[in-house]
Structure 1
Amino acid sequence: MLSILKAMQNGKIDNSMGICDNVLLNNGNRPRRLSHKAKLRRLFKSWPQYSGSIVFPINAGTDTPEQQYWHCDHIGNFWEGKQGELRHSLLTHMIKELS
């Protein structure tokens, strides 16, 4: 997973998806996907800005994390604005934790 996260940090990101989907998309091995989901959850919870929601770990405003996620999905970009800043922060945190 570390190599996938580093590749994402270096620009290999599908902007229309959040962290989970990018990680799972870049790993075609189904058994490993299940392992990655568990790791992602642990890493999300250890991030100081964690929203409290495993499914929607980013909270960038007054809307609920779920509403913010669906807004990003609607506009087709998860990696710009405050949402993007926090996703990059979480990505950096995850890489540090796994290194």
Structure 2
Amino acid sequence: KGSEGLGFTVVTRDSSVHGPGPILVKNILPRGAAVKDGRLQSGDRILEVNGVDMTGRSQEELVAMLRSTKQGESVSVVVARQEDMFLPRELKGQE
């Protein structure tokens, strides 16, 4: 984490009775660690942060974890990525 922060925003999709939905990378900001590193992409699903499974965790919990990272510390993020043509979208009429 650099002086300009981690440099990405997140969004939660499709919360249900089973708990919070998946947490996705919404945007890569023009400044910060994410753009310098170059691997994180908009639409990536965040699976794990610093070895902690994010399944069932809320967006607020994830943001609190990321914000607690001190400047100069590394953050390990494990993501799942879909190909561009399969980015998350709402499917009408299918279960």
Instruction: Work out whether the TM-score is over 0.5.
Output: no
- Greater Rg by CA: 2
More helix by share: 1
Q: Which has the higher strand share?
A: 2
Q: TM-score, normalised by structure 1?
A: 0.30
